[in-house]
């Protein structure tokens, strides 16, 4: 019996900005239906790696494969076509648009027939779909007509995640989705992440500085330090101290981490 | 999770705050204000003077050119852009069209008279005027999109350049002698009793209203104004979209120039110094946010007619029409106050 190929397989990726070597050889494998945490100190290269996987930045060298097929992303649209959706740290929502309009921004639903060919949008259809998407994720908005800018931080995150899960078919990447949130909203967003895995059957790459979050939702974790992969491991085999040691370079005993 | 799905756990904002913050309220206020102005003048003027078919038609005629420009500027402001050059484009297009018509008709006998042989030169002039307007709009758009200089500065500069070129071309003099046939048929002509310029303004505004409220182009205009980065990440070609809007505003300015020469038979070099700011004023009074992302065509229609209504009322009351300027300024401050209040209310939640 052969294991299914990883959803995402990044091998030997490097990227320099002038003299700064942001990535000096990153390996990362995300399996089907797993929440994979990506951790590392400030400047370790997490966001750079995410932008490369999202097609927003091209690597200097290295390979990327999606579902076992080698890919080259020249534009974000290429990554999206491969089923990869990204929730950026600053969310990338249009605050004066509704949830439905945000979910379909750039991929609007048009009315059937002649009106559609004239560019008329079907707001009712987008609203219905938004309601469905959000309620599958366990987030009900008071009013689908309200502007996204007036929602709470957790609700905005829910809209961004709903947008990603609507279009993503392989991998959703989230860059520090709980950084600005309080306790209950953090819990809500972590539940969203679990639902992407458990109900939508997607893989999630979660960038986070929060060790409690990582231990709460991640199945496996990859640690970057100074642009290199220094550790990939099942989360259950690790302690917080192991992770911190790997991130700071305090050293991991040869032969694998201890618990 | 219930704490997230119900945000109103803490004491909500006061009723007045919520009223001020709602888009519908601000549209209603401004509409109510126009109705109040009309009722006021109807009551204080002798009956049959202000609220008469004749006077309302002249108000519509006086406001039609501002309305056409403002309808385009609504798109621009919603997309967080600005165009200070529309007045200069109106002048340039008028001059170009008038010169072209004069040149093409100079060989014909009795230029000032109507006649079938005049229609080719007239149509050529009108076409050239409108296309030139669109071309200047394209220049504005290219400069804004490519140079990344704020649209305020770019269009301030092009405004001076375009008007300067028109002045050089004419030596600063108005160009008179536009064929009378154009004035008779269009500028002074009517369709079922409604002046053609008003019909044109209604048609243009109606079309742009539908485009803004119902189509993908309109929706993306809001998105680009609200968060251009989000639009870009969603795969929208933001630069091309902005280019299209600037081009449309230029085209409308050209059209307004054509209406102008057809009404007054003259291409005026000095007549449009304030219209750019007047159109921005009308759009903002109508509730469109100066910061982009928010606005409605209904508000613009009301905002564009407030100045003409006030002027007419003051004239009939034998007051100086310049009071209109004072009143419009006050309304503008009120409109921006409401807009800012709404933005602040949004950021708090
Ligand atoms: N566009 C850029 N130009 C120049 N240097 C860059 C650029 N983007 C990233 N870098 C550099 O690359 C390195 C990695 O940055 P990156 O943002 O990927 O780190 P990070 O792990 O996301 O850090 P943080 O946890 O602070 O978000 C840093 O030294 C950073 O200064
Ligand atoms: Mg980062």
For residue A1, the model assigns a pLDDT of 53
For the segment B191-250, what is each residue's pLDDT rounded down to a tens digit?
998 999 999 999 999 999 999 999 999 999 999 999 999 998 888 999 999 999 999 999
Whether residue A22 has its Cβ less than 6 Å from ligand 1 = yes
For residue B6, the model assigns a pLDDT of 37
**Size of chain B in residues:** 349
Q: Could you give the CA distance from residue A145 to residue A127 in angstroms, rounded to a whole number?
A: 8
Whether residue A48 has its Cβ less than 6 Å from ligand 1 = yes
B169 Cβ contact partners less than 8 Å away, ≥ 6 residues apart: B95, B99
The protein residue whose alpha carbon is closest to atom 27 in ligand 1 is A42
For residue A144, the model assigns a pLDDT of 83
ipTM of the complex: 0.84
Is the pLDDT confidence value at A257 over 70? no
For residue A203, the model assigns a pLDDT of 95
Is the Cβ of A114 closer than 8 Å to some Cβ of chain B?
Answer: no
Is the Cβ of B62 closer than 8 Å to some Cβ of chain A?
Answer: no
Q: Could you give the CA distance from residue B17 to residue B281 in angstroms, rounded to a whole number?
A: 24
Q: Do A184 and B4 touch (CB under 8 A)?
A: yes
Residue-range domain boundaries for chain A: 8-83+168-248
Q: Do B226 and A139 touch (CB under 8 A)?
A: no
Question: Which residue among A14, A17, A21, A24 has the greatest number of ligand 1 atoms within 8 angstroms of its CB, and so is best to mutate?
Answer: A17
A158 Cβ contact partners less than 8 Å away, ≥ 6 residues apart: A134, A137, A139, A188, A189, A192, B4
Rounded to the nearest angstrom, the minimum Cα separation between A208 and chain B is 22
* Ligand 2 center–CA A177 separation, angstroms: 11
Q: What is A8-83+168-248's CATH superfamily?
A: P-loop containing nucleotide triphosphate hydrolases (3.40.50.300)
Mean pLDDT in residue range A124-138: 88
Q: Do A121 and B229 touch (CB under 8 A)?
A: no
Output the six-digit token pair for A65. 């494969």
**Number of neighbours of residue A99 by Cβ within 10 angstroms:** 30
Q: Could you give the CA distance from residue B189 to residue B197 in angstroms, rounded to a whole number?
A: 9
Residues with CB under 5 A from ligand 2 (ion): A 47
* Ligand 2 center–CA A226 separation, angstroms: 13
The protein residue whose alpha carbon is closest to atom 10 in ligand 1 is A22
Q: Do B233 and A184 touch (CB under 8 A)?
A: no
Q: What is the CA radius of gyration of chain A?
A: 19
* Ligand 2 center–CA A47 separation, angstroms: 4
For residue A115, the model assigns a pLDDT of 92
Q: Do A140 and B5 touch (CB under 8 A)?
A: yes
| Ligand index nearest the alpha carbon of residue A51 | 1
Choose the weakest-confidence range: A153-157, A194-198, B58-62: A153-157
Output the six-digit token pair for B48. 């049959």
**pTM for the full predicted model:** 0.87
Rounded to the nearest angstrom, the minimum Cα separation between A179 and chain B is 17
Digit-by-digit pLDDT tens for chain B (349 residues) are: 333 433 333 444 566 655 555 656 666 778 888 899 999 999 998 888 899 989 999 999 999 999 999 999 999 999 999 999 999 999 999 999 999 998 888 766 554 455 667 788 899 999 999 999 999 999 999 999 999 899 999 999 999 999 999 999 999 899 988 888 888 888 888 899 899 999 999 999 999 999 999 999 999 999 999 999 999 888 899 999 999 999 999 999 999 999 999 999 999 998 888 899 999 999 999 989 888 999 999 999 999 999 999 999 999 998 888 888 898 899 889 888 877 777 777 654 3
Q: Could you give the CA distance from residue B305 to residue B278 in angstroms, rounded to a whole number?
A: 11
User: How far, in Å, are B57, B62, B81, B145 from residue B194 at the CA level?
Assistant: 7, 13, 34, 40
Q: Residue A149: list chain B partners with CB under 8 A.
A: 226, 346-347
For the segment B158-195, what is each residue's pLDDT rounded down to a tens digit?
999 999 999 999 998 999 888 888 888 888 888 998 99
B247 Cβ contact partners less than 8 Å away, ≥ 6 residues apart: B134, B137, B138, B141
More confident residue, B333 or A252: B333
Positive/negative CA dihedral, B255, B256, B262, B268: negative
Task: Name the residue among A76, A139, A149 with its Cβ closest to that of B5.
Answer: A139
Residue-range domain boundaries for chain B: 60-271
For the segment A20-78, what is each residue's pLDDT rounded down to a tens digit?
999 999 999 999 999 999 999 999 999 999 999 999 899 999 999 999 999 999 888 89
Question: Under a CB-based contact definition with an 8 Å cutoff, are residues B258 and B183 in contact?
Answer: no
């Amino acid at each position: 019996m052969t294991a299914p190929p990883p959803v995402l397989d990044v091998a030997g990726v490097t990227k320099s900005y002038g003299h700064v070597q942001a990535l000096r050889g990153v390996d990362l494998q995300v399996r089907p239906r797993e929440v994979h945490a990506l951790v590392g100190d400030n400047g370790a290269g997490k966001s750079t790696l995410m932008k490369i996987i999202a097609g927003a930045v091209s690597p200097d060298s290295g390979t990327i494969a999606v579902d076992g097929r080698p890919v080259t992303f020249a534009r974000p649209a290429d990554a999206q076509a491969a089923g990869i959706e990204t929730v950026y740290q600053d969310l990338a929502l249009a605050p004066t648009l509704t949830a439905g309009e945000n979910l379909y921004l750039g991929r609007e639903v048009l009315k059937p027939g002649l009106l559609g060919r004239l560019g008329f949008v079907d707001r009712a259809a987008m609203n219905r779909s938004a309601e469905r998407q959000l309620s599958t994720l366990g987030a009900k908005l008071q009013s689908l007509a309200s502007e996204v800018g007036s929602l709470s931080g957790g609700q905005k995150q829910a809209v961004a995640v709903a947008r990603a899960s609507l279009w993503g078919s392989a991998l959703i990447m989230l860059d520090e989705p709980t950084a600005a949130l309080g306790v209950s909203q953090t819990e809500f967003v972590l539940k969203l992440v679990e639902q992407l895995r458990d109900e939508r059957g997607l893989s999630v790459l979660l960038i986070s500085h929060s060790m409690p979050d990582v231990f709460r939702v991640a199945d496996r974790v990859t640690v970057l330090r100074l642009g290199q992969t220094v550790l990939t491991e099942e989360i259950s085999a690790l302690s917080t101290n192991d992770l911190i040691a790997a991130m700071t370079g305090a050293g991991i005993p040869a032969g694998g981490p201890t618990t | 999770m219930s704490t997230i799905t119900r945000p109103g756990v803490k004491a909500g904002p006061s009723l007045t705050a919520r009223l001020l913050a709602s888009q519908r309220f601000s549209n209603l206020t401004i509409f109510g204000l126009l109705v109040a102005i009309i009722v006021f003048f109807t009551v204080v003027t002798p009956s049959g003077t202000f609220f008469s078919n004749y006077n309302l038609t002249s108000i519509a005629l006086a406001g039609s050119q501002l309305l056409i420009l403002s309808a385009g500027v609504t798109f621009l402001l919603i997309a967080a852009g600005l165009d200070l050059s529309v007045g200069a484009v109106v002048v340039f297009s008028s001059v170009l069209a008038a010169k072209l018509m004069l040149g093409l008709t100079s060989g014909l006998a009795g230029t000032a008279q109507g006649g079938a042989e005049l229609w080719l030169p007239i149509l050529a002039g009108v076409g050239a005027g409108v296309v030139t307007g669109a071309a200047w709009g394209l220049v504005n758009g290219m400069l804004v999109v490519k140079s990344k200089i704020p649209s305020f500065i770019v269009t301030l500069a092009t405004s001076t350049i375009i008007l300067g070129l028109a002045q050089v071309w004419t030596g600063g003099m108005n160009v008179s002698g536009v064929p009378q046939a154009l004035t008779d048929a269009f500028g002074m002509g009517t369709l079922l009793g409604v002046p053609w310029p008003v019909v044109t303004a209604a048609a243009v505004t109606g079309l742009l209203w539908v485009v803004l409220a119902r189509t993908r182009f309109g929706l993306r205009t809001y998105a680009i104004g609200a968060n251009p980065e989000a639009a870009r990440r969603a795969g929208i070609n933001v630069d091309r979209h902005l280019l299209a809007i600037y081009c449309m505003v230029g085209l409308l300015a050209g059209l307004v120039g054509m209406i102008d020469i057809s009404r007054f038979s003259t291409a005026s070099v000095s007549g449009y110094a304030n219209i750019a700011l007047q159109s921005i004023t009308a759009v903002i009074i109508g509730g469109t946010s100066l910061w982009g992302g928010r606005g409605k065509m209904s508000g613009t229609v009301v905002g564009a007619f407030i100045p003409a209504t006030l002027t007419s009322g003051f004239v009939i009351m034998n007051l100086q029409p310049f009071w209109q300027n004072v009143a419009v300024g006050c309304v503008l401050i009120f409109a921006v106050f409401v807009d800012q209040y709404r933005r602040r209310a949004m950021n708090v939640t």
